[in-house]
């Protein structure tokens, strides 16, 4: 299986996503088209990445260029503030993002809309209520949060109508395992998405990872993506390089053994 279904929504989320953080505007359309051609069907954007419109353009071009239609792609974005995109209200801000990604058609939608970061108590409440409205309207098929701690997730009960959130997207890789948050999300069936699954490329020459990679004749990056998948997380690796974009999807022909997983687990002291 290469997708997970999101509790109670009937939405299916591809297990591997493509992250476009720091993918510059001018190259973003081509990079997303390359990712779609390589097999990704899940793209993770955000208001602050300033490339929502380019992601949207890539998906609309994918229809003619690749025969991939909007409904075949899972698109995520995130709200950081209501003023970033010149909006007056939180709802206007999220609705603006939907138009950027999904186009101006009345039935435009995103597959997942996240509150990007906890910010202030007022922001959390206002942003979540805007997302609940978008969800009720069907303009966000699922909604969730990002960078939320257990405390932030518990606090949501004070203001949320829809709880638990469908997703919590956090930084997750062997050197950042967030065990308490992960356990809590598993208990509450909140899907964990892993951003920076490659630790932003910082530790790709780590000897423990290299050893496992050599054993499986795969690259360190592929080992880290596989680690994330086997943890039950949804990894969102980012790359602007065609070969690495392809390489990062080629992770289904091997499996990490339990001792490999244990060795990776032990990297966070």
Query: Does 124 help bind ligand A2P (rule: CB under 6 A)?
Result: no
Does the N-terminal peptide bond of residue 24 adopt cis geometry, omega within 30 degrees of 0? no
Please list, residue by residue across 221-255, b when 16 or more beta carbons sit within 10 angstroms of its beta carbon and e when fewer do.
bbbbbbbbbebebbbbbbbbeeebbbbbbebeeee
Q: Minimum CB separation from ligand A2P for residue 232, in Å?
A: 18
Query: Quick one: 103 or 201, whose CB is closer to ligand A2P?
Result: 201
In whole angstroms, what is the distance from residue 50 CA to residue 138 CA? 24
Catalytic (active site) residue 49: yes
In whole angstroms, what is the distance from residue 140 CA to residue 19 CA? 19
**Given the rule CB under 6 A, which of 99-107, 142-150, 154-162, 233-241 is the region that contacts ligand A2P?**
233-241
Q: Minimum CB separation from ligand A2P for residue 67, in Å?
A: 26
Query: Does 204 help bind ligand A2P (rule: CB under 6 A)?
Result: yes
147: left (phi over 0), alpha (psi -120 to 50) or beta: left
Q: Which of 180, 241, 257, 262 binds ligand A2P (CB under 6 A)?
A: 241
**Given the rule CB under 6 A, which of 80-88, 144-152, 199-207, 251-259 is the region that contacts ligand A2P?**
199-207
Contacting residues toward ligand A2P, per CB under 6 A: 19, 196-201, 204, 219, 221, 237-241, 244, 247-248
Active site (catalytic) residues: 49
């Amino acid at each position: 299986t290469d997708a997970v279904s999101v509790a109670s929504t009937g939405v299916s989320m591809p297990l591997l996503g493509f992250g476009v953080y720091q993918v510059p505007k001018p190259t973003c359309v081509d990079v997303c088209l390359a990712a779609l051609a390589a097999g990704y069907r899940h793209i993770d954007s955000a208001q602050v990445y300033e490339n929502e419109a380019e992601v949207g353009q890539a998906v609309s071009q994918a229809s003619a260029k690749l025969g991939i239609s909007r409904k075949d792609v899972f698109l995520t974005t995130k709200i950081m503030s209501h003023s970033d995109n010149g909006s007056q209200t939180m709802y206007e801000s999220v609705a603006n993002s939907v138009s950027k990604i999904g186009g101006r058609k009345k039935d435009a939608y995103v597959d997942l809309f996240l509150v990007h970061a906890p910010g202030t108590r007022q922001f959390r409440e206002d942003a979540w209520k805007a997302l609940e409205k978008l969800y009720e309207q069907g303009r966000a098929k699922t909604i969730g949060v990002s960078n939320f701690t257990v405390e932030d997730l518990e606090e949501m009960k004070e203001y949320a109508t829809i709880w638990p959130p469908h997703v919590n997207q956090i930084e997750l890789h062997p050197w950042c395992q967030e065990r308490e948050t992960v356990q809590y999300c598993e208990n509450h069936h909140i899907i964990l998405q892993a951003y920076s699954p490659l630790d932003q490329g910082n530790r790709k020459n780590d000897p423990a990872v290299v050893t496992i990679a050599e054993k499986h004749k795969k690259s360190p990056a592929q080992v880290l993506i596989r680690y994330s998948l086997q943890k039950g997380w949804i990894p969102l690796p980012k790359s602007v390089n065609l070969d690495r974009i392809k390489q990062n999807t080629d992770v289904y022909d091997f499996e990490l053994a339990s001792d490999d997983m244990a060795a990776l687990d032990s990297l966070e002291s």
